[in-house]
Structure 1
Amino acid sequence: MAELYLVRHGQASFGAADYDQLSLLGQQQGQLLGEYFAERKIVFDHVLLGTMNRHRQTVEAIFQGSTEVASVKEHPGLNEYDFVALIDCLGEEHHELKLQAKNSKKDFYRVLRQVLLLWMEDRIDGPIPETWSEFQQRVADARSYIQGLKGQRILAVSSGGAIATVAQQTLGAPKATVISLNFQINNCSFCRYFFNADSFHLATFNSIPYFDRADRSNFITYG
């Protein structure tokens, strides 16, 4: 059986003009994860990432903390859903939700939970970038691609929604499980899977042992 470390990107830049950039804290989170891998002599045969800036910057930060550098390939199946577009595409029926999303970060995530459920039920009227089924399929395609790789240990850097979907698909859980899992995944946490060409098994979910100490509590973030 091969081993997959599926990592969420470091803290991004919520509230900035461009969310798709790591914050300084996000870069530090990636470096600490890289140090964790180096200390345990965890070496990867392949490194995959989505096509987003925060994915690439997280991989770069991990490499700064680790002396072992593997070749890197992109796979769009590891990209996040476009949560901003989903909210923007809400019709008049959900106008109040659009307004609430602008109030605060807390309100934004409260609204996003409701919007994701509408998305899953095909109840968003506007021209959304992709349907729920399309998102599910591209995440499944990424998982299939990983299963076809030759090597004993794989690192993949992705986003919360895609990571939650991999877990949901692996466990055969209801689609709404993606929402509850998505909102508890820490930045720079990893999920560990064992797999071969025919099977895919979840071993650990949302692990952050490198932040689990009193002087690193500020590294535990979710956005």
Structure 2
Amino acid sequence: MAALYLVRHGQASFGEPEYDQLTQKGRQQGVMLGQSWQTLPRPEKIYTGLLRRHTQTFQAFNEQVKLNSAVNVLKGLNEFDHNDILISAQPHWQNQQDVINYFAKLPSPKEALNKAFNQALATWVDKQHSQHYQENWSTFKSRCISAFNRIIEDREIEEQQIIAFTSGGVIAVIIQHLLQLSDQQCLNVMQQLRNTGVTKILFSVDRISLDYFNNYRHLEQVGASWSTYR
């Protein structure tokens, strides 16, 4: 059987003006993942989304693994637009700067932002066909599954090892698809995904199955502070 490893990106700059950028910790998480990969099969095909945090995580990983294969960039592996989801949650927020200004005045800005984002995310999922968003939940799910199917269909050899650097929402939707989970269960899965956690999927011509989910032992071995969600 072939194997697809879905890797969530390293810690990005949540709560900062430019989110799509790894923190120093996020980059080191990618390096740690590469170090831990030495005893695993070398990926023969590589995918990333279009986001910088995907590419940066792969680059940190590859400093250790040193893969020479071409990188296939697949837009369907991109995360949902968290700014659009947040801004749409409050009628008085018109742009990202409004959100930043609002939370900057609070005693615990990042904690408050995280709570508000989770609430906005739940609303987005609940209004799954709403045209109020640039990309609604239903459209996002369809895009993720299309990207997943393309990777599966583009397998070149029977036992090919494939790795894809993507985001938590994409991985959660793929898990939902494989296990036939509800939207609420999908959200629960999304909340559990660690930065640089690895999910492995096995597949053949007539079978697709989840082998393991959200493996972040490469972080646990170093210390609990490295196991981040955002």
Aligned to 1:25: 25
Q: Is the 8 A contact 1:147 1:197 kept in 2?
A: no
Aligned to 1:4: 4
CA apart distance, 1:186: 0.5
Alignment equivalent of 1:216, drawn from 218, 223, 227 = 223
SS at match of 2:195: coil
Alignment TM-score, normalising by the size of structure 1? 0.89
Give unmatched runs, 5+ long, in structure 2: 94-98
Indicate yes or no: 2:139 matched with 1:140: no
Counterpart AA for 2:224:
S
1:48-59 equivalence runs, <5 A: 48-59=47-58
Counterpart AA for 2:39:
R
Counterpart AA for 1:135:
F
CA apart distance, 1:112: 2.3
Q: Report the RMSD for the aligned CA atoms in angstroms.
A: 2.5
Indicate yes or no: 2:201 matched with 1:193: yes
Alignment equivalent of 2:156, drawn from 146, 150, 171 = 150
Separation in structure 2 between the aligned mates of residue 93 and residue 14 of structure 1, nearest angstrom:
21
SS at match of 2:147: helix
CA apart distance, 1:8: 0.3
Counterpart AA for 1:40:
T
Counterpart AA for 2:164:
A
Indicate yes or no: 2:111 matched with 1:112: no
Counterpart AA for 2:138:
S
Could you give the per-residue CA deviations for residues 68-104 of structure 1, whole angstroms, max 9, x where no partner exists? 332211111111111111111235499xxx79x8342
Aligned residues: 219
Separation in structure 1 between the aligned mates of residue 128 and residue 178 of structure 2, nearest angstrom:
26
1:68-217 equivalence runs, <5 A: 68-90=67-89, 92=91, 102=103, 103=106, 104-122=109-127, 127-148=132-153, 149-151=155-157, 152-213=160-221, 215-217=222-224
Counterpart AA for 1:206:
N
Q: Is the 8 A contact 1:30 1:65 kept in 2?
A: no
Q: Is the 8 A contact 1:90 1:124 kept in 2?
A: no
SS at match of 2:10: coil
Of the structure 1 ranges 124-133 and 109-118, higher mean CA displacement relative to structure 2 is found in 124-133
Separation in structure 2 between the aligned mates of residue 122 and residue 23 of structure 1, nearest angstrom:
32
1:50/1:123 CA distance change after superposition, 3 Å: closer
Give unmatched runs, 5+ long, in structure 1: none
Counterpart AA for 1:145:
R
SS at match of 1:194: strand
Q: Is the 8 A contact 2:129 2:137 kept in 1?
A: no
SS at match of 1:61: helix
Q: Is the 8 A contact 2:219 2:226 kept in 1?
A: yes
Separation in structure 2 between the aligned mates of residue 132 and residue 33 of structure 1, nearest angstrom:
30
